[in-house]
């Protein structure tokens, strides 16, 4: 391969004309016509091909004399030690290839020819000396003298040749002549270079004077290690087609670990390799090198890349994986039908309908297809840039890991650790059970950086230049390569400019060397996306196709673009596309998106995701009206693919368009708000969903149409795991409106009434138990009369919030089991997840940690993208609980803080308060609750009715009884919800420690039926220990002799379960009554 920069430099001797690259393209085009006169137009060249960052000659070695010479030399070198006679014959053949004394004699004086001529001449000298050594080993010293005597006279500074000649003369009995050869070399070195000979030559001179016995043996080791010099650098063009892959640089250990993972997957089932590195760190190179290696071993490989553009189609990486795999094994009819949304062969869900469960069937079909594919041999799936993955890409990855658990499959996931999303973090946490290899690629070492520079034509003898590049690139392969290209183009001085952030400066300078028309084409390509069809680019340009094709070819030769397949181009790296994209001013960029959208409407009318992305980027008041439809269609497609977060982004964009468009009907805007609320709820963003619903309700009541109001009220349509009310406050106007509409909906709308009742339950749970009990019983009765499993699941979900109350706790496992059965029969995975969450809590009510772990694992397996964050938070709470029960209080506190932070990031309400309660629970176990007094005060100022018990408890731990008594309000009712037992236990402890006998008596009566249980454990997140521990403390305060019995019961329970903090007698009041 010869770079464009080098060709320009050599052709015009360092003084190129203004449009040198355009002229070079013309020369190359003419040369291609001469080499391949019968090649059809637009058919890729086969001999003189484009190969970033320039052009390469695709011929076999025998077709080029210089290559033939080097190939023969390499072959002879390989067998020198093991087959000396064969090596000698090979070298004779090598030297017979040599014609004129000076290669490229007709181009003497041309810099490029002189360099290559010198390189080939050095190789010839190496061959002559290598042949002489073989002759010595074969005891043919006389032939050595005949060959090397003129050779040494012509090249008096070549020490190795002189040493070989001296040994040959000595063996022929010419000791004086041998010494004279060495002394002549010494004199030449001193005269011409001012240096002494090397230690090997000096040592040989001494041996000659002493007549050392080893000099007379044909097996002499003289100069064995240094007299034979391997071939110099390979030629600057690629001799074979296709070219051999360059060996990996400094990644042998990582590649070996990945190959070990592949071997394990073949024998034991699916495995994952997580490959993390900064941008340009070599992730893709390593992954694709593994792919090439495993392909050679008979593996099927399929590679998909998560796009770096906002608004890309959901699960695009899996689209690419399936498309690639289909070349090996076509889809059967059921698989094709199940994957039609992923592959873009299906239509978008019509407005007004919902494809709720299409993503379920899609994942099932994909799992079945990949399983069948793996049945034909081991399968490697590479997902590039997983840090950019949308929710459905990650959901499919989790499904594949479960569905192909026993299949010979290795998944390689590359990502940038500093750019991972919360979705990535939780998905990876959900995959912890899959055997995995984790690789963190650092920078290349000094030797690898040097080799990389050498491969790209940089003079590696300049030690100061090497040091500068190593320091500036920090070993980042991409940065090193880009800097090498800049050095080749502008000289070593450009290395001093540093490595700018995101390569923007380097790329700008490289772009400046390209023709203006090429820069325009590349910017169009960047705006179109990271991956683009050539025909679309030609249509966007609007002119003749040749300038576009020339521009794209220039981009390929410059190393900015690659051609993954005919008719498509892709940016070689996301940084390159980003730098180009952001170099276009916003105004011009918006217009370019608009032009692309116009073209796509004519050529890609069914690609709703692509249309939606460009419609959003082109949004202006002039385009807003049309954009609404494109964005809504893209949102529905994302929803069908199980990507609610992406759907919510499109619905938000559609609402922005509605704000800009003139006179959008109120009902149309209402529909957009309802869809946004639903998508946000499914994505787990509770706060955004509530905000969208609130706006929808406001708009619907203004319209005055009951149907509009009902749509707005029920648009928060997703499973509910925890309370959806911030600070658990009741939205009284919303509750009144729900009650009003329920009074208007009769037997003619049973399904609607059930949904309204369930919605009401979510708004009053924990605040009005009696009404919540009534509405959920009615919602269930109505739902069971309908043939709609989704309505029934929602009613059961609402009923769950009643069954967590103490009075209805016995019903909890039955609700969980029925919900699981209905959801499994209907294929409603989101409700299957919620059912396992309910059964998890039921298991903890019985302190059955093993059963609880089973259900939380199943919940994670079934969780949708939006649920996964909350369900992993449940797992986090569970892990914190286990640490608390194991007595590892530091780990428990860390887990509670970590989960609180994660819930806050995904939009979970009350996350900070829950994290605070977790840490308080841990500290109060060892009497250190006072350490959180100030944090608790801040929450108490906002919601005093819910926090006075905990603040009083912390103040008592601090020793401030008066302050505790001042804030404590024991007459305030405790919410009858899943935390009732926790709060009642806490109140009992405060009453006992303050000596408030009436409150202590009341708490004792309330808690007595719960003896034999752990306080709060049934909520699945925190626990104050055995209820009997607090009963013992209350009995002691009341002078009740039951103290000893409660104390013994608490100890027995704690020791049976393994609850370390409460298994020691010191955690309880003394057995005697005070």
| Per-residue pLDDT, 420 | 82
Regarding whether 80 and 47 lie in a shared domain, the answer is no
Residues 49 and 109 in one domain: no
Using CA atoms, how far residue 93 sits from 86, 131, 146, 763, in Å, is: 11, 11, 18, 91
Asked whether the beta carbons of 256 and 273 are under 8 A apart, the reply is no
β-bridge partners, 273 = 412, 437
The pLDDT score that the predictor gives to residue 230 is: 31
Residue 264 has pLDDT above 90, yes or no: yes
pLDDT at residue 465 above 90? no
**Highest mean pLDDT: which of 295-299, 379-383, 543-547?**
379-383
* 3-class DSSP state of 921: helix
Our measurement of the distance from residue 938's CA atom to the centroid of its chain's CA atoms, rounded to an integer in Å, reads 38
| Residue 185 covered by a domain | yes
In terms of DSSP bridges, do strands 2-3 and 54-57 run parallel, antiparallel, or are they unpaired?
Answer: antiparallel
Per the domain annotation, does 913 fall within a domain? no
Pair 338, 207 in one domain:
no
Question: Using the 8-state DSSP alphabet, how is residue 1026 labeled?
Answer: B
810 belongs to a structural domain: no
Residue 981, both tokens: 């037992």
Q: What pLDDT does 221 receive?
A: 42
* Same domain? 165 vs 307: no
Q: What percentage of the chain has pLDDT greater than the value 90? A: 45
Residues 317 and 283 occupy one common structural domain: yes
3-state secondary structure of 475: coil
Instruction: Give the mean model confidence (pLDDT) for residues 741-751.
Output: 89
For residue 90, what pLDDT is reported?
80
Mean pLDDT, to the nearest integer, of 766-777?
A: 94
Q: pLDDT tens across 851-890, in order?
A: 999 998 999 888 887 777 777 777 888 889 999 999 999 9
Assign 3-state DSSP to the chain and report helix, strand, coil percentages, each to 5. Answer: 65, 5, 30
Same-domain status, 278 and 328? yes
Provide the pLDDT for residue 731: 95
Residue 222's pLDDT band, with cuts at 50, 70 and 90, is very low
The CATH number assigned to the domain holding 179 equals 1.25.40.10
CA distance 130 to 87: 9
**Phi, then psi, of 841 in degrees rounded to 5:** -65, -40
Contact 250, 89 (CB under 8 A): no
Q: Do residues 174 and 299 both lie within one domain?
A: no
pLDDT at residue number 273: 96
Quote the pLDDT of residue 507.
Answer: 66
Q: What is the 3-state secondary structure (H, E, C) of 239-261?
A: CCCCCCCCCCCCCHHHHHHHHHH
Backbone angles phi, psi at 701, to 5 degrees: -65, -30
Q: Is 679's pLDDT higher than 90?
A: yes
* Number of Cβ atoms within 10 Å of the Cβ of 463: 9
pLDDT of residue 388: 87
| Total structural domains within the chain | 5
The predicted pLDDT at position 235 comes to 30
The pLDDT value given to residue 1036: 95
pLDDT greater at residue 240 or residue 1033: 1033
**Separation of alpha carbons 219 and 205, rounded Å:** 19
Rounded mean pLDDT, 1053-1072: 90
Question: Could you report the per-residue pLDDT of 284-316, keeping only the tens digit for each?
Answer: 888 988 998 898 888 999 999 988 766 677 888
Most confident of 82-96, 495-509, 578-592: 578-592
From residue 210, give the alpha-carbon distance in Å to each of 166, 204, 992: 14, 10, 104
**Helices 316-326 and 391-403 sit at what angle, rounded to 10 degrees?**
50
Average pLDDT over all residues of the chain:
85
Rounded to whole angstroms, the Cα distance separating 676 from 661 reads: 18
Per the omega criterion (within 30 degrees of 0), is the bond before 53 cis?
A: yes
Q: What pLDDT is recorded for position 705?
A: 92
Token pair recorded at residue 296: 């050679």
Q: Is residue 1022 part of a domain?
A: yes
CA dist 264 to 261, 380, 398, 435, Å?
A: 5, 13, 19, 9
Helices (H), 1015-1063: 1027-1038, 1043-1057
Task: Give dist(CA 859, CA 868) in Å, integer.
Answer: 9
The residues near 526 (Cβ < 8 Å, ≥ 6 apart) are 571, 577, 580, 581, 584
| Average pLDDT rounded to a whole number, residues 416-440 | 86
Which band of pLDDT confidence, cut at 50, 70 and 90, is reported for residue 622? Answer: very high
- Least confident range from 71-75, 498-502, 708-712, 1039-1043: namely 498-502
- When mean pLDDT is compared over 531-540, 792-801, 1017-1026, the highest value belongs to 792-801
Token readout for 495 is 């290395």
What's the pLDDT at 921?
A: 94
Q: What's the Cα-to-Cα distance from 895 to each of 160, 884, 928, rounded to whole Å?
A: 68, 10, 18
Residues 276 and 425 in one domain: yes
DSSP alpha helix (H) spans, 437-544: 446-455, 463-473, 477-490, 504-512, 516-528, 534-541
408: left (phi over 0), alpha (psi -120 to 50) or beta: beta
The CA-atom distances, in angstroms, between 889 and each of 903, 914, 919, 950 are: 21, 17, 9, 19
Cβ-based neighbour number of residue 689 at 10 Å: 26
pLDDT of residue 1051: 96
Burial 78-107 (b: 16+ CB within 10 A, else e): eebeeeeeebbebbeebbebbeeeebbeee
Confidence check: pLDDT of 671 > 50: yes
When mean pLDDT is compared over 318-327, 528-537, 992-1001, the highest value belongs to 992-1001
The answer on 421 and 349 residing in a single domain is yes
The string over 280-318, giving b where at least 16 C-beta atoms fall within 10 Å of a residue's C-beta and e elsewhere, is bbbbbbbbbbbbebbeeeebbbbbbbbbbbebbbbbbbb
Backbone phi and psi for residue 2, each to the nearest 5 degrees, phi listed first: -120, 125
Q: Is residue 637 part of a domain?
A: no
pLDDT (0 to 100) of residue 598: 94
Position 815 confidence tier, pLDDT thresholds 50, 70, 90? very high
pLDDT (mean) for 1047-1073 = 90
Q: Is residue 97 domain-shared with residue 41, that is, in the same domain?
A: no
Say if residue 323 is in the same domain as residue 288.
yes
pLDDT of residue 580 exceeding 70 = yes
User: Do the domain assignments include residue 538?
Assistant: no
C-beta separation of 555 from 528 below 8 A: no
Q: Estimate to the nearest angstrom the gap between the alpha carbon of 1025 and the chain centroid.
A: 41
Cα–Cα distance, 715 to 692 (Å, whole number): 9
Statement to judge: residues 39 and 16 lie in one domain = yes
Rounded CA-CA distance 822/812 in Å is 16
Question: C-alpha distances in angstroms, 176 versus 15, 146, 209, 211, 652?
Answer: 56, 17, 9, 12, 94
462 CB neighbour count, 10 Å cutoff: 15
Selection from 830, 869, 867 nearest residue 423 by Cα: 869
pLDDT at 232: 32
pLDDT at 657 over 80: yes
Query: Is position 668 within any domain?
Result: no
What pLDDT, on a 0 to 100 scale, did the predictor assign at position 886?
94
Backbone angles phi and psi of 104, in degrees to 5: 55, 45
The 10 Å Cβ neighbour count of residue 469 is: 26
What token pair was written down for 435? 């055997």
DSSP 1067: G
Average pLDDT for 1001-1010: 96
Q: What is the CATH number of the domain that holds 32?
A: 1.10.10.10
Q: Write out pLDDT tens, residues 135-194.
A: 888 888 888 888 898 888 888 888 889 999 999 898 888 888 888 899 888 888 888 887
pLDDT at 82 > cutoff 90: no
Which residue in 857, 819, 828, 823 sits closest to 840, CA to CA? Answer: 857
State pLDDT tens for residues 2-56. 777 778 877 887 777 877 777 888 888 888 888 888 888 777 788 888 876 788 8
In the prediction, which pLDDT does 413 show? 96
Domain interval for residue 183 = 65-216
237: confidence class by pLDDT, cuts 50, 70, 90: very low
Count the Cβ atoms, other than its own, within 10 Å of residue 910: 23
Please state, in angstroms and rounded to a whole number, the distance separating the CA atoms of residues 315 and 643.
8
pLDDT exceeds cutoff 70 at 224: no
Domain assignment of residue 726, yes or no: no
């Amino acid at each position: 391969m010869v770079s464009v920069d080098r060709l320009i430099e050599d052709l015009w001797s360092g003084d190129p004309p203004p449009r040198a690259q355009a002229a070079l393209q013309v020369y190359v085009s003419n040369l291609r016509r001469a080499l391949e006169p019968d090649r059809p137009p637009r058919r890729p060249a086969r001999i003189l091909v484009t190969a970033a960052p320039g052009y390469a000659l695709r011929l076999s070695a025998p077709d080029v004399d210089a290559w033939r010479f080097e190939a023969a030399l390499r072959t002879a070198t390989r067998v020198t030690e093991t087959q000396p006679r064969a090596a000698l014959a090979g070298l004779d053949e090598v030297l017979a290839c040599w014609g004129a004394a000076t290669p490229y004699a007709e181009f003497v004086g041309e810099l490029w020819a002189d360099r290559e001529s010198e390189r080939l001449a050095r190789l010839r000298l190496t061959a002559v000396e290598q042949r002489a050594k073989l002759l010595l080993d074969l005891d043919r010293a006389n032939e050595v003298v005949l060959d090397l005597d003129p050779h040494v006279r012509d090249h008096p500074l070549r020490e190795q040749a002189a040493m070989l000649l001296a040994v040959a003369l000595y063996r022929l009995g010419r000791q004086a002549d041998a010494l004279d050869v060495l002394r002549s070399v010494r004199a030449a070195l001193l005269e011409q270079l001012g240096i002494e000979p090397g230690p090997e030559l000096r040592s040989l001179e001494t041996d000659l004077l002493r007549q050392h016995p080893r000099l007379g043996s044909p097996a002499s080791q003289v100069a064995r290690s240094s007299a034979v010099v391997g071939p110099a650098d390979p030629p600057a063009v690629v001799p074979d087609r296709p070219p051999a892959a360059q060996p990996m640089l400094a990644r042998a250990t990582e590649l070996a670990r990945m190959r070990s993972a592949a071997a394990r997957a073949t024998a034991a089932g699916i495995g994952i390799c997580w490959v993390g590195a900064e941008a340009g760190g070599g992730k893709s190179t390593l992954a694709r090198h593994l792919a090439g290696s495993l392909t050679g071993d008979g593996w099927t490989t399929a590679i998909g890349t998560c796009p770096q553009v906002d608004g890309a189609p959901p699960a695009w990486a899996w689209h690419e994986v399936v498309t690639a795999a289909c070349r090996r094994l076509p889809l059967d009819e059921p698989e094709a039908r199940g994957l039609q949304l992923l592959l873009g062969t299906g239509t978008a869900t019509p407005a007004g309908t919902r494809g709720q469960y299409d993503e379920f069937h899609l994942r099932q079909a994909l799992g079945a297809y990949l399983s069948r594919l793996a049945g034909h041999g081991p399968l490697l799936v590479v997902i590039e840039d997983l840090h950019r993955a949308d929710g459905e890409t990650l959901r499919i990855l989790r499904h594949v890991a479960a569905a192909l658990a026993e299949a010979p499959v290795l998944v390689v996931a590359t990502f940038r650790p500093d750019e991972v999303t919360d979705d990535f973090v939780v998905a990876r946490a959900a995959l912890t059970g899959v055997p995995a290899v984790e690789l963190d690629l650092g920078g290349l070492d000094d030797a690898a950086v040097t080799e990389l520079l050498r491969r790209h034509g940089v003079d590696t003898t300049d030690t100061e230049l090497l040091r500068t590049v190593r320091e500036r690139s920090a070993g980042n392969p991409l940065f090193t390569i880009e800097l090498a290209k800049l050095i080749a183009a502008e000289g070593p001085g450009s290395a001093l400019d540093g490595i700018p952030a995101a390569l923007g400066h380097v790329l700008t300078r490289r772009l400046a060397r390209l023709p203006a028309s090429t820069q325009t084409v590349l910017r169009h390509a960047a705006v179109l996306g990271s991956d683009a069809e050539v025909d679309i680019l030609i249509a966007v340009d609007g002119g003749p196709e040749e300038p576009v094709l020339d521009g794209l070819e220039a981009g390929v030769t410059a190393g900015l673009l690659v051609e993954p397949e005919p008719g498509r181009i892709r940016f070689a790296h996301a940084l390159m596309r980003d730098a180009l994209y952001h170099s276009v001013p916003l105004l011009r960029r918006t217009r370019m998106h608009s032009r692309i959208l116009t073209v796509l409407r004519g050529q890609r009318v069914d690609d709703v995701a692509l249309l939606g992305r460009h419609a959003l980027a082109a949004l202006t008041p002039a385009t807003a009206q049309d954009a609404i439809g494109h964005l809504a269609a893209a949102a529905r497609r994302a929803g069908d693919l199980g990507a609610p977060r992406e759907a919510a982004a499109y619905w938000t964009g559609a609402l922005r368009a509605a704000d800009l468009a003139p006179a959008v009907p109120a009902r149309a805007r209402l529909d957009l708000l309802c869809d946004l609320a639903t998508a946000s709820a499914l994505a787990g963003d509770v706060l955004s969903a509530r905000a969208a619903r609130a706006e929808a309700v406001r708009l619907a009541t203004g319209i005055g149409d009951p149907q509009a109001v009902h749509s707005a009220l029920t648009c928060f349509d997703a499973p509910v795991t925890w309370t959806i009310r911030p600070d658990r406050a009741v939205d009284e106007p919303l509750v009144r409106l729900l009650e009003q509409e329920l009074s208007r909906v009769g037997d003619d709308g049973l399904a609607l009434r059930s949904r309204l009742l369930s919605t009401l339950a979510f708004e009053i749970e924990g605040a009005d138990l009696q009404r919540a009990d009534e509405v959920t019983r009615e919602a269930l009765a109505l739902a069971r009369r309908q043939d709609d499993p989704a309505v029934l699941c929602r009613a059961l979900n609402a009923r769950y919030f009643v069954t967590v109350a103490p009075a209805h706790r016995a019903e909890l496992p039955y609700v969980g089991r029925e919900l699981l059965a209905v959801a499994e029969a209907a294929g409603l995975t989101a409700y299957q997840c919620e059912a396992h969450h309910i059964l998890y809590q039921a298991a903890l009510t019985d302190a059955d940690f093993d059963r609880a772990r089973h259900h939380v694992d199943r919940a994670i397996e079934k969780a949708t993208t939006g649920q996964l964050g909350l369900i992993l938070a449940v797992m986090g709470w569970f892990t914190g609980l286990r640490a608390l029960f194991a007595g590892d209080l530091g780990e428990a506190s860390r887990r509670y803080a970590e989960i609180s932070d994660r819930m806050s990031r995904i939009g979970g309400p009350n996350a900070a308060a829950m994290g605070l309660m977790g840490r308080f629970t841990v500290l109060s176990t060892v009497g250190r609750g006072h350490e959180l007094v100030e944090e608790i005060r801040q929450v108490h100022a906002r919601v005093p009715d819910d926090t006075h018990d905990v603040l009083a408890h912390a103040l008592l731990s601090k020793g401030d009884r008066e302050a505790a008594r001042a804030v404590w309000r024991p007459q305030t009712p405790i919410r009858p919800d899943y935390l009732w037992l926790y709060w009642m236990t806490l109140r009992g402890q405060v009453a006992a420690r303050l000596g408030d006998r009436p409150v202590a008596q009341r708490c004792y009566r309330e808690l007595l039926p719960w003896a034999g249980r752990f306080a709060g454990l049934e909520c699945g997140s925190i626990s104050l220990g055995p209820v009997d521990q607090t009963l013992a403390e209350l009995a002691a305060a009341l002078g009740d002799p039951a103290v000893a019995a409660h104390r013994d019961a608490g100890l027995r329970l704690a020791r049976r379960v393994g609850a370390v903090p409460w298994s020691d007698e010191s955690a309880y009041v003394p057995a005697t009554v005070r």
